[in-house]
Structure 1
Amino acid sequence: MSSLHDFATWEPLLRLVRAGNAETFAVPGGHVVGRIGRRAWSVPVRRMPPQPGRALRAEDMRAEFDAVSRVQRALADSGADGVPFMVEIAPAGAATLHLFDPNPAVEPGIGGPHPGALVLVEDAVPEPWRRLPEPMPGAAPAPTADPAVLERTLRERVPDAIGATEEEIAAAEARLGVVLPDELKALYRVTRARWEDWGDDHEAAERARTAVGLELFPLDEVYLADVASRPCPWRFGAKEAVVTPPDAAVQGLVGSPGWIAFGDNGGGDRIAVDLTPGPRGHVGQIIILSHEENIGAGLVADSLTDLVLRGREKGRGRGRGAHSPAVAWVNRASLQSVEAAAHPGLEALSLGVWEGEPFSLAPVVGLPRLRTLQACRGTLADPLEIAALTGLEYLELAPEDWRVLLDAGAVPRSLSAAGIEARHDRHPLPVVALANELLALWDRPPITRTVLEGDLGTEG
């Protein structure tokens, strides 16, 4: 038996959990949930406040660190990345620990055993992650693009840099499966950006960074910023949409086989050469992919030469542009009706927090591109209206609304993924049982769990 499934592995942590949640466990049916991963955890323990006048220190959390570390070592030994759990502890100390097993058909939930999206069709991804760039036959390099000027300028700025050989450039092209644009080749002929080339000379490394205007990746770490490089859970990705206005310089994609990421802005945002520009863009323009967004990119410079000579122009940074009617949010702070969201281009509709009368879905029936519906608890007047939305690929509902569809045999068979809106105050086991009913409709593997029992004794 894996040590992960040994009650003794969990006992120190369960004692801390009991100490911090006595009132919760005292209520019939009382339970707490959490999740432990190899590098992070979400565990409901009570942390003592630091002494007045100083910040919280590691030693203030030593008991928690030690208890979590026992579980993390067991995770590593078992090969698992993380484990969500639920625990029930009786006043006399009898503890029941539910460990929820990994499932290839279920995306992780947030901080506990409530499941994330159920992937009903194997390997399915949201529609924006299936989009390829549109061809732009008239696109051409910007007038500012000049590989010779670029190379000469960089050699003047970093004369002591070690450049990549033609063999190294060819190897990078073979690895990526694309021919590097001339400007990018010129850059790497001047410096291949390997830390070992600079040794302990941090000033030389800083000069190279300043010379280019970004933190340059070594040539062997350059990658294609395609859709696979920008993964996203279904519950978020299904509510995105690819939109490229006629005057856009950059296509509003998740990623592209023509986006060659070669650097970072120092804050986690990737800098790339764009070989698949938008209607008003240039081949070889420089774009930035925000680490805070799932889709889209912003224009940085018309060319790599332009970036190195003039830097990033003010006001040309990242951004998603104007709101698109392809994605609509109806709630007390946004649109106030489904009628206001209805539009032939609507792809994703979310019904959020709402105190008024529930909504009818009649205004969006028949819309040709509607593929995503999220409806929070109490927002639907009649969940069975969903049956008329024949193009849905993602549906997220409260358990009560899923129950209506299941009992009526009306769960849309067009779905590729599904989500259950389950607040953390809901008991996980009924939610998991509901998820298994949905998984069974597509013959997907059910969510399973391992139950461990032990005695913590009385406190004190």
Structure 2
Amino acid sequence: MRPIHDFATWEPLLKLLRASNAESLAAPGGHVAGQISGAGWSLPLRRVAPQPGRAARIEDMQDEIDAVERVRSALVDAGAASISFTTEISPTGKAVLHLLGGGPAVEPGIGGPHPESLVLVEGAVAEPWRRLPDPMPDAVPAPSSDPGLLERTLRKRLPDAIGATEAEFAATEARLGVELPDELKSLYRVTRGRWEDWGDDYDAAVRAFEAVGCELFPLDDLFIADASSRPCPWRFAAMEAVVTLPDDPVQGLVGSPGWIVFGDNGGGDRIAVDLTPGPRGHTGQVIMISHEENSGADLLADSVTDLVMKRRSTVRGRGRQDLPPAVARVNIRSLTSIEAAAHPGLEVLSIGVWDDEPLSLAPVAGLPRLRSLSAYPGTLADPLEIAQLTGLEFLDLGPAEWRVLLDADAVPRSLSAASIEVRGNEHPLAVAALANELLALWDRPRITRTTIEGDLGVPVR
């Protein structure tokens, strides 16, 4: 095992990068950059096209896989999750490799060498992830809720099932910190959902799932789908907004201490009992939490009884789409002005690709709820107008715009997180240096840089 800072660890990969990027490396200031993590890698490498009529095979990129695994093994040995790098390689083979290490204040980039977000306040999460359910004092169980009918029906469908004991219920409630609703107890009194109870009989498990209406979790695997169960990088989390309309049966939350997950739809979406319903919902209704979305959930059934009896809810929310959106997007395809986005309920403003004159932020100055701003590089007429947005907790700007704020000592101190929007061939070292200036303002751990030099030799023609 070679350490991550050993040039020999990187040598096979650097040779592949040189072969794929000879022209760009030979240009003045030429460099290549990438990222490697336990989950994958992003590298500017040319791959050999498979022969016509044949699909690509592992062996077609075996050299790449071997070189990457060499680095990944060193990462594991170092206890690091990922590493970004940039390298310059001369025509004679001299290589200078810069390794960029993140830390607790840096969320690594997705598919690139630049940091995704900088967490300026330790432990901070975006506002939607802090949002708790609104109280609904008038919420009651649905008229269809019938724990007795539910239990009788399941016993007929699953006569040989093994149910949970009161002691097991007590242990689960102690672990979750919440009392299980009667319907859920009725369900688990019939079957506790353990594979060993079915003798590893797949067909028996399928029968149980069909009887209940979802892939049932064992009682020991029930969990609370609060906001922490739905993690999301700051760059994306900050651009979300929690909205619950007056006719919504489910609150538009990231998660809730009243969402008790007890199953799955077979495709990764969680099935939960909802004890914190929306204005038109019922206590104990059954919801589905999508694994493809960061917030909200869909109503499946008004009660667990309805789920078991195959009765789906007909209640539909989101009936007031005429309300101004909490998230506004100004770009060449959406809203065409900042004025069109401005209203007192605006929480998130995203300024995207723009082919007209740069925009002024004056129309949104002083808005009471505006907390997140993302502006594509070059779209702001005057970045110093950001100082008028006194409630920002997240800011995403291009390097030039950040430079203006830093030089004027005008970076909003209300921020909890920030991102540097990189477009084009920005040098990773310059971006890392800019990121470190921002981190220094909050006295947060910096991005580390380790430089390694070595000789790859003259490339074989």
TM-score normalised by length of structure 2:
0.96
State the match for 1:241 in structure 2: 241
State the match for 1:441 in structure 2: 441
**Counterpart secondary structure, 2:95:** strand
Q: Is residue 34–residue 44 contact of structure 2 (8 Å, CA) maintained in 1?
A: yes
State the match for 2:133 in structure 1: 133
- CA, structure 1 residues 60+319, in 2 after alignment: closer, same or farther (shift >3 Å)? farther
- 2:17 is aligned with 1:17: yes
Q: How does 1:204-243 map to 2 (within 5 A)?
A: 204-243=204-243
**Counterpart secondary structure, 1:61:** helix
- Amino acid aligned to 2:169: I
Question: Take 2:324 and 2:226, find their aligned partners in 1: how far apart are those partners?
Answer: 23
Question: Take 1:357 and 1:176, find their aligned partners in 2: how far apart are those partners?
Answer: 55
- Amino acid aligned to 1:54: R
- 2:48 is aligned with 1:53: no
- 2:32 is aligned with 1:32: yes
Question: Take 1:446 and 1:115, find their aligned partners in 2: how far apart are those partners?
Answer: 12
State the match for 2:403 in structure 1: 403
Q: Is residue 387–residue 412 contact of structure 1 (8 Å, CA) maintained in 2?
A: yes
State the match for 1:327 in structure 2: 327
Question: Take 2:34 and 2:177, find their aligned partners in 1: how far apart are those partners?
Answer: 43
Q: Give the stretch that moved more between structures: 368-377 or 200-209.
A: 200-209
Question: Take 1:321 and 1:429, find their aligned partners in 2: how far apart are those partners?
Answer: 48
Question: Take 2:49 and 2:198, find their aligned partners in 1: how far apart are those partners?
Answer: 45
Question: Take 1:149 and 1:361, find their aligned partners in 2: how far apart are those partners?
Answer: 59
Q: Is residue 245–residue 318 contact of structure 2 (8 Å, CA) maintained in 1?
A: no
Q: How does 1:12-411 map to 2 (within 5 A)?
A: 12-312=12-312, 322=321, 325-411=325-411
Q: Is residue 82–residue 108 contact of structure 2 (8 Å, CA) maintained in 1?
A: no
Q: CA deviation at 1:194?
A: 1.8
Q: Is residue 85–residue 99 contact of structure 1 (8 Å, CA) maintained in 2?
A: yes
Q: CA deviation at 1:324?
A: 5.4
**Counterpart secondary structure, 1:4:** coil
- Amino acid aligned to 2:385: E
**Counterpart secondary structure, 2:4:** helix
Question: Take 2:240 and 2:377, find their aligned partners in 1: how far apart are those partners?
Answer: 22
Question: Take 1:257 and 1:294, find their aligned partners in 2: how far apart are those partners?
Answer: 16
Q: Is residue 296–residue 320 contact of structure 1 (8 Å, CA) maintained in 2?
A: no
Q: CA deviation at 1:394?
A: 0.8
- Amino acid aligned to 2:179: V
Q: Deviations over 1:64-103 (max 9, x none)?
A: 2222211121111111111122222111111122211131
Q: CA deviation at 1:112?
A: 2.7
Q: Deviations over 1:25-47 (max 9, x none)?
A: 12122222222112322222222
- Amino acid aligned to 2:388: A
Structure 2 unaligned blocks of 5 or more: none
- Amino acid aligned to 2:442: W
**Counterpart secondary structure, 1:5:** coil
RMSD of Structure 2 on Structure 1 (CA) = 1.9
- Amino acid aligned to 1:168: E
Q: CA deviation at 1:158?
A: 2.0
- Amino acid aligned to 2:91: P
Structure 1 unaligned blocks of 5 or more: none
Question: Take 1:78 and 1:159, find their aligned partners in 2: how far apart are those partners?
Answer: 54
- Amino acid aligned to 1:59: E
Q: Is residue 298–residue 319 contact of structure 1 (8 Å, CA) maintained in 2?
A: no
Question: Take 1:459 and 1:152, find their aligned partners in 2: how far apart are those partners?
Answer: 76
Q: Is residue 213–residue 311 contact of structure 1 (8 Å, CA) maintained in 2?
A: no
Matched residue pairs, number? 459
Question: Take 2:23 and 2:164, find their aligned partners in 1: how far apart are those partners?
Answer: 64
Q: CA deviation at 1:15?
A: 1.6
Question: Take 1:28 and 1:336, find their aligned partners in 2: how far apart are those partners?
Answer: 40
Q: Give the stretch that moved more between structures: 211-220 or 174-183.
A: 211-220
Question: Take 1:315 and 1:146, find their aligned partners in 2: how far apart are those partners?
Answer: 19
Q: Is residue 37–residue 72 contact of structure 2 (8 Å, CA) maintained in 1?
A: yes
- Amino acid aligned to 2:252: G
Q: CA deviation at 1:314?
A: 7.6
**Counterpart secondary structure, 2:106:** coil
Q: CA deviation at 1:227?
A: 0.7
